[in-house]
Amino acid sequence: MTLEDLAERVGVTKMTVSRALNSPELVSVDTLQRVREAVRQTGYTPDLIAGSLASTRSRLVVALIPAMAGSVFQETVEVLTTELAAAGYQLLIGQSGYDESREDVLLDAVIGRRPAGIVLTGVAHSESARLKLRASGIPVVETWDLTTDPIDMLVGFSHEKVGRAAAEFLRERGATRPAVLTPSDRRAHARTEAFLKAWRNADSIPVVTLQSPAHLGDGRRALASLLDGHAVPDAVFCGADTIALGVLMEAHARKIDVPRQLRVIGYGDLNFARETTPALSTVRVDGTKIGSLAAAMLMDRIEKRGSLERTVDVGFSIVERESA
């Protein structure tokens, strides 16, 4: 969607549309309303580099992730940085948090600067963001999730399958009274819902929801709240390895034997997981593969080469260690 397209849609000149967008006091109220409605309907975003840089090809790719510190996304960011640099592109990182409105603000700034490509985390975006991204014509890769309706390209895995697999893993190891400690974001919620559906007595399974991103201390306090509230689980599915580490610490402080009295499984397989005592069982997602595929998809689209599949499911695995 270009300025010319927008002008044609409204039935005015490009100059009039430009004035409506940049100096609204110079156009009539009726024209201004028609231009704004057309912008809303089409998702048009002004091209901030259209002037003197219009002939300069962007060598910038932008990736939006919820958080960096202690994040499962670090592997993806590292390989994106390396492989894009090898192709002559630079990666710019934006932290969107877990709030759609914050992502919308970031995307407005990003789209207007017309990067060569955009990498997004997850598939849950506002309708406004989806419309603007599709209207921009910028290659987009969504990551770390799956959907039947991607914005453009997609590489990820099923969080519902993760939840079911974690439930089966604990059940096979004798768990009968599980609990769930989960971050509050949508992907973690999907894993939790699938985990609960895999148990017949789902209504009796305690679930503690923690603000995303959850930290080690949150895991300690969550397990303490369960135990102090007389809920005595024999297994805990943690929606992040940092939560699981806190659970292990609180269990140790209370002299609860892991795994004989309490089986613990995390999510993410962060670099400390194998070093905990006992070593942490967890869900492993190949973040490096996600980043590599995302980079390849973008390069194929940007360089107009034969493209890879539009959607790739990288799957996941459960790493069994001493904690479960």
| 159-284 has the same fold as 60-157+287-314 | yes
Share of the chain above pLDDT 90, in %: 75
The pLDDT of residue 52 is above 50: no
Q: Give this prediction's pTM.
A: 0.83
How many C-beta atoms lie closer than 10 Å to residue 275's C-beta?
A: 10
Both structure tokens of 260:
């004989």
* pLDDT tens readout for residues 177-192: 999 999 999 999 999 9
CB count in 10 Å sphere of residue 185: 21
167 pLDDT above the threshold of 60: yes
Range from 167-171, 181-185, 300-304 carrying the lowest mean pLDDT:
300-304
Max distance between CA atoms of the chain, in angstroms, equals 75
Among 139-148, 196-205, 307-316, name the most confident range.
139-148
- The residue among 148, 150, 152, 172 whose CA lies nearest residue 160 is 148
Q: Average the pLDDT over 295-319 and give the result.
A: 89
Structure-token pair, residue 48: 């901030």
d(CA 157, CA 181): 21
Label residue 46 by pLDDT band (50, 70, 90). confident
Per the prediction, the chain carries an average pLDDT of 91
CA separation for the pair 174, 205 (Å, rounded)? 16
Residue 260: other Cβ atoms inside 10 A: 8
**Quick one: fold of 60-157+287-314?**
Rossmann fold (3.40.50)
Cβ atoms of 234 and 265 within 8 Å: the answer is no
pLDDT at residue 116 tops 90 = yes
**pLDDT band (50, 70, 90) for residue 67:** confident
Residues 6+ apart with CB under 8 A from 228: none
Label each residue of 72-111 as H, E or C. CCHHHHHHHHHHHHHCCCEEEEEECCCCHHHHHHHHHHHH
Domain extents in the chain: 3-42, 60-157+287-314, 159-284
Specify the CATH number of the domain 159-284: 3.40.50.2300
Q: What is the pLDDT of residues 181-220, one digit of tens each?
A: 999 999 999 999 999 999 988 889 999 999 988 999 999 9
